[in-house]
Every structure is written in structure tokens, then in C-alpha cells.
Structure 1
Amino acid sequence: MRGRCPSCTRAYDQTRGGARRRGYDHQWQRVRAAFLAAHPVCCVAGCGKPATDADHIQSVRDRPDLRLAPSNLRPMCHAHHSQRTSRDQVPRGRV
């Protein structure tokens, strides 16, 4: 089994709040759509799939000032974005 156990995942999801609370509002939707239109292919070497997700290079949690900055985004297909976020989203205070 990869990633967190189901109990840890549920506990983490309950503490992090909804998408709007984390900064994914109408402004974000507009920036995301424009970014993906300009960068339609996944940035992972050798992938070549259509980009469906705009990944924050520096997380919104760590750098909220860069939330809407296109320079802090990279295009990814959903599979690669899911892999990245599962690696990076460990609750604070947990190892």
C-alpha cells in the first residue's frame, strides 16, 4: 500500500478545509484556465499527455503570495499531479 493509511487520510482531509478555504476560488479558476491554455502539455519529461492540472511549484500553504503567479505554476497531467501531491501533502507536525 502506498501513501497514508485511510485513517490518516481522513483525519488530514478533515483538518485542511475545503478548496475555497485553501485559496482555490474564482480568481484561481481564471488563472488556471489561462495557464493551461498557454501550456497544454504535461511538463514531466517523456510524458507528453495533455496537462489537466496547474501545479504550484511552491505550495499555497507555504507561499500564499504566489497563489496566482503564473511563474509559480507548472502544467501536469492528472496522474503526475496526483503523484506529486501525494508525496508533498504530509500534515504539518507529521513525519
Structure 2
Amino acid sequence: MPAQTYDAQRGSSAKRGYGTAWRKARAAWLRKHPLCVECEQQGVLIAATVVDHIKPHKGDMALFWDRDNWQSLCKSHHDRKTATEDGGFGHGPATEQQGTELVLRPGLTIMRVR
């Protein structure tokens, strides 16, 4: 699916749940959890700027608001995670599970889908 079609089908950020209530919850979460969890695991202290849904909610509002499904990430780690889940930067979601594995570091493997 072309990136433009995928983006159009996703709807606005507000329609996906990222409205005023999310912005308030996000700010409160980042105050309590200010460091990127991935950077911390590497022994590096970097401020988080994103509240990530560990398991993609895909419109499931119960999962969206489940704080056990949230983690603080820096933009770099969030971008990498999202690209892995969505099939690459701006390329829409991956539809196949075959491809070439790319091991970035132990415990972080992404799949390049062809």
C-alpha cells in the first residue's frame, strides 16, 4: 500500500486518540518517567520525548490508555521501533513476515521486508 494511501486511512491524530486528554496524560507520564528506557538499558541517560505504546494499540482504546503498555523513549528509539512495526519510514505497515533480519544490537532485531 502506498504511504499516502496508508496515511489517509489512518485518520487524524485526534481521531486516533491523540487529543487534549492524551497530551495531558503524556506530559504527566514524561514528568514521572523522564528518561528513555532503551537508552537507560545501554547505560546512557537521555531525556525521553515520546510516550510509546509498547504493543501497538491499532485503535483499541483500552490498550491505548493502559499505562502498563506505555514506555518513555527518545525520538531516535521511537522512530526505529515505529519503522520496524509499520514496515519502514513512510512505507505503510508490513504485510509479509519474510525478509532479511538486521541485528542492530543484541536484543534489537528488525526485519527488512521485501
- Report the TM-score when normalising by structure 1: 0.80
1:57 aligned to which of 54, 69, 72: 54
Unaligned runs of 5+ in 2: 97-114
CA contact (8 A) 2:35 2:48 kept: yes
49-58 or 59-68, which moves further after superposition? 59-68
Percentage of pairs with the same residue: 29
One-letter amino acid matched to 1:26:
T
In the alignment, structure 1 segments of 5+ residues that lack a partner are 1-6
Deviation at 1:48, TM superposition (A): 2.2
Q: Rg larger in 1 or in 2?
A: 2
Runs of 4+ in structure 1 over 6 Å off: none
CA RMSD of aligned residues (A): 2.1
Task: Find the partner of 1:37 among 31, 47, 51.
Answer: 31
Give the aligned partner of residue 76 of structure 2. 79
1:69 and 1:23 map into 2 onto residues whose CA distance is: 13
8 Å Cα contact 1:42/1:75 also seen in 2: yes
TM-score, length-scaled by structure 2: 0.68
